[in-house]
Amino acid sequence: MKENTKKLFKFLRTKPVPANTNEILALERTKLANERTLLSYIRSSLYLLLGGIAILQLKDFRNIHWLGYVALVVCIVFLTVGVFRYVLLYRRLHKWNRVLFVDTISEKVSKQADNQEKEGEETAKSE
């Protein structure tokens, strides 16, 4: 019974906290900020699109139709810049993420965990 309980708790144990947890969390915050920034570029682009279409729909003010066309062009530029910046930072974050997750648990911590498991197995065998 005691051995079964030890085996059960062996699977329930959590892994040690990675040594570079702060860096991993900072990357996650940066990813979220990147997504927020993309959404604000999209929102600004939509506002410019709506404004440009509204100006083009005005029949009494034919002399400012050029402003509507400018708003539509700036809308496309905003959307393009936003997506370009998002993809660029996403790729950089992906590279940094791979570097951090290659060695998330330091060798010292993993060796200690291995030693504890071996000692637990030896004590279980001796009992």
The pLDDT score that the predictor gives to residue 103 is 52
pLDDT in tens, the chain (127 residues): 667 666 666 666 666 656 677 888 888 899 999 999 999 999 999 999 999 999 999 988 889 999 999 999 999 999 999 999 999 999 988 888 777 766 554 555 566 666 666 666 666 666 5
Evaluate if pTM is beyond 0.85.
no
Q: Tell me, letter by letter, the H, E, C secondary structure of the chain.
A: CHHHHHHHHHHHCCCCCCCCHHHHHHHHHHHHHHHHHHHHHHHHHHHHHHHHHHHHHCCCCHHHHHHHHHHHHHHHHHHHHHHHHHHHHHHHHHHHHHHHHHCCCCHHHHHHHHHHHHHHHHHHHHC
- Per-residue pLDDT tens digits for 43-66: 999 999 999 999 999 988 889 999
